[in-house]
Amino acid sequence: MTRGTGRPRYSLVTILARQFRSDRTAHTVLAITVLVLTALSTALPLTVQEMNSREIGYRLQQLRAHQRDLGVTVAGSPPTAPGSTEKEIFAPTDSGLRRVVAETPEPLRSRMATPQYLSLTAPVSASTPPRRFDPQLQLAVATAPGFASRVRTVEGTLPLPFAAVAPDAPAIEVMMTAKNAAGLRWKVGETRSIHPDAQHSVSMTLSGIFAPRSPTDPYWTMDRSSLVPEKITMVLPGGEIQLIQVSTVVIDPASWPNLRNSFAGSTTTFRIPLSASAIHTDQADRMLPQVRRFTATGQEIAPESAAATVTKVRFDTGIDDALALALDRGRAASAVLLMVAIGPLGVAAAVLWLLVSLIALRRRETLVLARARGASASQLAGVVVAETLLLTVPAAALGAAIAVALNPGPLPPDLIIIPVAIAAVPGALIAVAATSRAASSGRADLDPRSRRWVRVVLELLVAALTVLAVVLFAQRGLTTSTSIGVDPLLAAVPLLLAVTTALIVLRTFPAPLLALGRRLATGRGFVGHLGSLRAVRDPAAGLVPVLAMVVGLSVAVFSGVMVGTLQHGVAAAGESNVGADLRITGVALTDKTISAISDVRGVSAVAGVYEPLTRLDAVLDGARFSVALVVTDTGRLAKVRGDLENVAVVPRGMSRLSHGSIPGIVFPAYTAAKLPGARFTVSGEPVTAVGDPATGAALSRADAWVLVDRSMAPRFDAEEFRPELGLVRLAPASRSGQGLAAVEKSIRAIVGDPVVFSTPSESAATFRISPVASGLQLLLVLLIVTVGLLCAGSVVLALLVSSRPRERLFALLRTLGLSGQQSRGIVAWEVGPSAVIAVIAGAILGLALPLVVLAGVDVRSFTGGTIQPRETFDPLVLLALVGGFFIVVAGAALLAIAAARRVDIARTLRTSGEG
Amino acid sequence: MTTVAEPHIFCADLVRIFAAQGVEVQALQGLNLRVERGEMVALVGASGSGKSTLLTILSGLDTPTAGTARCAGFDLLTLSRRDRVEYQRHSVGFVWQQTSRNLLPYLTAGENVAMAMIVAGNPTADRGARVTELLDLLDVGYCRDRTPGQMSGGEQQRTAIAVALANSPEILLADEPTGELDEATSSEVLEAMRGINERLGTTILIVTHDPAVSGHVRRTIQIRDGRTSTEVLRRSEVDEHGEERHISEEFAVIDRVGRLQLPDAYTKALDLRERVRLTLEPDRVEVFPGQDTASTTNGGEK
């Protein structure tokens, strides 16, 4: 009976291929899920790394050049050697600095640019013919090696070299900027006799005017008076104020050795510019201690020699604090993201399990048959695992490739574990699912009791682990301030809490549901009765979708609260750092200017804040500590505060003694002292703490301070009042936009040019636009979306996994006259109760999680505030989140139900005889 | 392991208890069964008599709770995992009632047979030839490239038999192989099985509730309440006139400790209940109603 000539080759591969072709939907979904999961979970750490690197770059760029660079100003001249050219003369300094750089370890060394230096004589009178209201006009002579290459000559010529400085020698040539020349009223070609001291005199001719090639070149930060005259306010003993204006004149650098001894003294500024480009966190981690070591020790430029020569200097920089802050922010961001991302990872694992269960279910007949025909467990597992890996491995590879393509730089070796794990996990899961399903007889009612015990023990273990993790977390925090990294158990706290909540939901909700079912049984509602019974006895859901919904919603709510908390925290920090609607710094204020400012249109109130440099001794309960004194007109400050929330509260009556004691606002508000009302002694004077210093940041940068009214200041030997900080309350119309600009312009006209303004919104904005702050918020939002989709997927999958018994039931009920609407109702009962309870539990957990996380993760670095922000619950956002979540899950369930409705009664009943 | 004297399928006092959530169901209550090598036997019983449980045990898919069960030299109570695989691959083949448990719907008849060979790890060389040979043996060679959906019920069951025979098992077990078929097709399938039994010498045990199956086998065993109760032996004799006569004799099964089930019809006819009186004669045992005349009358009035 053999037909045809070609005898088919019956090989395992062809049979497997046919099997795959016959039912590939679930496999395709698995492959896509693996691809997306790999892409997302590989991209996340890469993005976080990139974000952290950019954050460091951003922090460095935020620094002013002189804060970012390694710099130092010391008394003395740079070491020189005999010679005629600039290069020969400064060779010892140049080579010394080069050696310093060369001896610096990497990665710090490669971020160093060529060192720069500049020497200045002490300022002396510029011999300008005096005019009324002139400040004291002074000049300092500068030598700046490489000067000629940094400037262009606007007028005249570059200064010529000179051999000596003597009364009878020819006048030496100097050069300066147009602004400096104008300040000194010195014309090109004019010669003046300068007197470095009583005995010496030097004739100087202005040979030319220069302009910097790049005025913004940080080089010029080495000498503030080199481009524009520097204005100095000096307070003489007795309160008289003297204004000084210093301009720098530049000589031919090679002539410095001939001039330096004619002046009373000189200073040299060294500067090693540091790159402000983004840097990988690992590099920054290594660089930070290198910077600290570099600045903590003296760097030898030349061996010990003449007394006036600089030999060893200790550089200073602000970059270490900025790096530390950026690294802290990066760590905190990673910690928050890890805690948030572990939840979706748990849901993703649950979704993979459901998918794999679905595949195993669809393969069940095949597996049972093959097993009955004598296929061993390892044979079956081998086939299903191979089939799965054949899909997941390329999918995971593609996903990882996409993630890498989206991010610059290669995949770090330690991250390769992610795609490998995601590719391997479905293989492992399906081995378990397939062999256990094939082994089971398919009779759920014959489930051995021992498995229930296993389940109870596992659930108790999870609960115990959760308690342990929460306790440890509360005690230790997430160790974000060290470079140890994050404890995985502690990072899993949100997930563990979610799993435990899901377990509690699953174990407790049958009771009320059964009660409901009994009540519905007495009525006419057949659907409600059957539905509630099915929800308890044969839940479609089971643990996995409930877990997914609890985790998903809690992550979504948690992320929403975190976003709100961070935004609110940033705004609050901006307010508390600025302290008013507008902050004026950079200029000295007087009573006259303060009253002029208060007359500006749009200004409601102004207060000047004065902080004398001297520290006072304070005694509280026998403990002695040092405080700064902050003096202000408390009446004005109270008006300035207005209704701002995060700034110091100034009570009335601070200008009067209360019971013989001086009312003062004390920072920090020592909790041990039970402030307010605590009594202190400050410099022997009794002080009673009143008011509330809030974060204290706006009024003083000191660690501890006491604010008293101006009328009380003389008791602390602070007779004068010379505020350098002005706090302004603005009329609502002037708080932003053009109104604000107009106010700033008017104030600038009153107090002069160097004034610096800041407002709470600007201060908040610098934090908000930082890569970590903005990236964190974006990633949190993305996580909300991802977890929502994962949840929807898990609900659909759960309904698909349980579709066979449901189809059987419906086919049966349909023959008994069940309507389509009633069958939908029964499916809704299958998902509904657990979904509603999961959503409630998830929302509650999501609201509770921020309390746990904020207790363990320091997020101050995101807000720029000095105190941890309070969790902020925005009802609208939360409602939108919960509602949106519910809609996504319900929509997915409806889709699955709609698909499930197309039941072929005849087919189902015919094939349902099998146990 | 195999001894010459031992029957090919041997069950003694076989017990299988399903326990779930506090309820115990005793599906087999001390069943005894002997099937000799090369025999073709039908096991007939009503629903719930335990016949499917027995077959599941004999096919190595389930383990009995107590008793003895040996098949083709394998002790089914102490089967190791490896032995079970070996047993299922090479010693036993089976055919179930539903096509879905016999054949994979997306594979052709040929592939279904081949899959059983692949599972057993048989060499690939002559697989195609062997597949064709088996299908031809069952007269379904023309179905080689058809999927089960394209075959009739009889063709499906004959293909299922081919699958079961793929690895040349010594024993073929069939659970209601004709359950879904009409009479004529049933007959075809059963005759195909008898053909296999005769040509290949395969021991065949058919479990069914259909008394008509008895017509196709020499020996029919009745199973009741988890025990084998009676046996009908069928043989044909050629009588003195040269005509073939079918003779069937009914036997009751007696177990090792002497228990014996009387057929329902007998007990009803004589209203045997509670106790009976036995008398031993030289060549037989006689059973009398245990009640005295009065109680018999009373019983009769009921």
Chain A residues near residue B102 by CB distance under 8 angstroms: 369
Give residue-wise pLDDT tens across range A526-546: 677 777 777 666 655 566 777
Is the pLDDT at A316 greater than 70? The verdict is: yes
Q: Which amino acid is at A645?
A: E
pLDDT at position A535, please? 67
Chain B residues near residue A380 by CB distance under 8 angstroms: none
Quick one: what percent of chain A has pLDDT higher than 70?
A: 86
Assess contact for A630 and A705: CB atoms under 8 A.
yes
Chain A residues near residue B116 by CB distance under 8 angstroms: 373
pLDDT at position A907, please? 54
CB contact under 8 A, A372 and B136: no
- The answer to whether B21 contacts chain A (CB < 8 Å) is yes
- Over range A150-170, report the average pLDDT: 79
- The answer to whether B186 contacts chain A (CB < 8 Å) is no
Chain B residues near residue A376 by CB distance under 8 angstroms: 81-82, 85
Assess contact for A246 and A138: CB atoms under 8 A.
yes
- Over range B66-75, report the average pLDDT: 87
Interface of A with B in 401-460 (CB under 8 A): 441, 445-447, 449
Residue A574: CA count within 13 A, CB half-sphere: 19
Assess contact for A740 and A734: CB atoms under 8 A.
yes
ipTM: 0.74
Q: Which amino acid is at A886?
A: F
Q: A868-897 burial string, b = 16+ CB within 10 Å, else e?
A: ebebbebeeebeebbeebbebbbebbbebb
- Which among A2, A10, A449 is the nearest to B127, CB-wise? A10
Give residue-wise pLDDT tens across range A667-678: 775 544 445 667
- The answer to whether A375 contacts chain B (CB < 8 Å) is yes
Q: How far is A522 from chain B (nearest CA, A)?
A: 28
Which of the pair, A39 or B253, is modelled with greater confidence? Answer: A39
Give residue-wise pLDDT tens across range A544-563: 777 778 888 888 888 888 77
Which of B111, B118, B209 is most worth mutating to test chain A (most A CB atoms within 10 A of its CB)?
B118
Chain B residues near residue A6 by CB distance under 8 angstroms: none
pLDDT at position B288, please? 87
pLDDT at position A724, please? 80
- Over range A97-126, report the average pLDDT: 83
- Which among A21, A374, A441 is the nearest to B119, CB-wise? A374
pLDDT at position A902, please? 58
CB contact under 8 A, B107 and A19: yes
Q: How far is A534 from chain B (nearest CA, A)?
A: 18
CB contact under 8 A, B117 and A10: yes
CB contact under 8 A, B128 and A7: yes
What is the Cα–Cα distance from A824 to A298, expressed in whole angstroms? 80
Interface of A with B in 3-32 (CB under 8 A): 3, 7-12, 14-15, 18-19, 21-23
Q: Which amino acid is at B102?
A: N
Is the pLDDT at A417 greater than 70? The verdict is: yes
Q: How confident is the model at residue B1 (pLDDT cuts 50, 70, 90)?
A: very low
Closest C-alpha among B207, B234, B235 to residue B223: B207
Q: How confident is the model at residue B2 (pLDDT cuts 50, 70, 90)?
A: very low
- Over range B193-206, report the average pLDDT: 88
CB contact under 8 A, B21 and A445: yes
pLDDT at position B165, please? 86
Q: Which amino acid is at A319?
A: I
Closest C-alpha among B153, B156, B148, B157 to residue A22: B148
- Over range A404-422, report the average pLDDT: 79
∠ Cα B121 B124 B126 (to 5°): 125
- Which among A366, A446, A913 is the nearest to B18, CB-wise? A446
Give residue-wise pLDDT tens across range A502-520: 888 777 777 777 777 677 6
- Over range A406-422, report the average pLDDT: 78
CB contact under 8 A, A18 and B107: yes
- The answer to whether B130 contacts chain A (CB < 8 Å) is no
Give residue-wise pLDDT tens across range A685-718: 788 777 776 666 677 777 777 888 888 777 777 7
pLDDT at position B17, please? 85
pLDDT at position A539, please? 58
- The answer to whether B124 contacts chain A (CB < 8 Å) is yes
- The answer to whether B139 contacts chain A (CB < 8 Å) is yes
Chain A residues near residue B132 by CB distance under 8 angstroms: 1-2, 7
∠ Cα A221 A224 A227 (to 5°): 95
Q: How confident is the model at residue A194 (pLDDT cuts 50, 70, 90)?
A: confident
CB contact under 8 A, B141 and A19: no
Chain B residues near residue A372 by CB distance under 8 angstroms: 59, 61, 88, 94, 101
| Alpha helix segments (H runs only) across A602-680 | 634-641
CB contact under 8 A, B20 and A18: no
pLDDT at position A899, please? 67
Pairing of strands A603-610, A623-632: antiparallel
* Chain A residue with minimum CA distance to B62: A441
Assess contact for A480 and A332: CB atoms under 8 A.
yes
Average pLDDT over all residues of chain B: 81
Give residue-wise pLDDT tens across range A164-180: 777 777 888 888 888 88
- The answer to whether B74 contacts chain A (CB < 8 Å) is no
pLDDT at position A5, please? 46
Three-state DSSP state, A542: coil
* Chain A residue with minimum CA distance to B101: A369
Is the pLDDT at A121 greater than 60? The verdict is: yes
Q: How confident is the model at residue A912 (pLDDT cuts 50, 70, 90)?
A: very low
pLDDT at position A671, please? 46
- Over range B198-212, report the average pLDDT: 85
pLDDT at position B92, please? 87
pLDDT at position A483, please? 41
- Which among A7, A373, A376 is the nearest to B116, CB-wise? A373
Q: How confident is the model at residue A434 (pLDDT cuts 50, 70, 90)?
A: confident
Q: How far is A825 from chain B (nearest CA, A)?
A: 30
CB contact under 8 A, A373 and B136: no
Using left for φ > 0, alpha for ψ between -120 and 50, and beta otherwise, residue A601 falls in beta
pLDDT at position A498, please? 81
pTM of this prediction? 0.70
pLDDT at position A484, please? 42
pLDDT at position A879, please? 84
Is the pLDDT at A367 greater than 70? The verdict is: yes
pLDDT at position A677, please? 66
Quick one: what percent of chain A has pLDDT higher than 90?
A: 0
Give residue-wise pLDDT tens across range A243-260: 788 888 888 888 777 777
Q: How far is CA B127 from CA A822, B111, B121, B130, B132, in A?
A: 53, 10, 11, 5, 9
Interface of B with A in 76-105 (CB under 8 A): 81-82, 85-90, 94, 98, 100-102, 104-105
Give residue-wise pLDDT tens across range A318-340: 878 878 877 777 777 777 777 77
- The answer to whether A132 contacts chain B (CB < 8 Å) is no
Q: How far is CA B21 from CA A449, A452, A537, B17, in A?
A: 7, 11, 14, 13
- The answer to whether B25 contacts chain A (CB < 8 Å) is no
- Which among B111, B132, B167 is the nearest to A18, CB-wise? B111
- The answer to whether B231 contacts chain A (CB < 8 Å) is no
Assess contact for B42 and B211: CB atoms under 8 A.
no
- Over range B132-152, report the average pLDDT: 85
SS (H, E, C) B33-89: EEECCCCEEEEEECCCCCHHHHHHHHCCCCCCCEEEEEECCEECCCCCHHHHHHHHH
Lowest mean pLDDT, pick from A157-161, B137-141, B218-222: A157-161
CB contact under 8 A, A372 and B59: yes
Which of the pair, B262 or A533, is modelled with greater confidence? Answer: B262
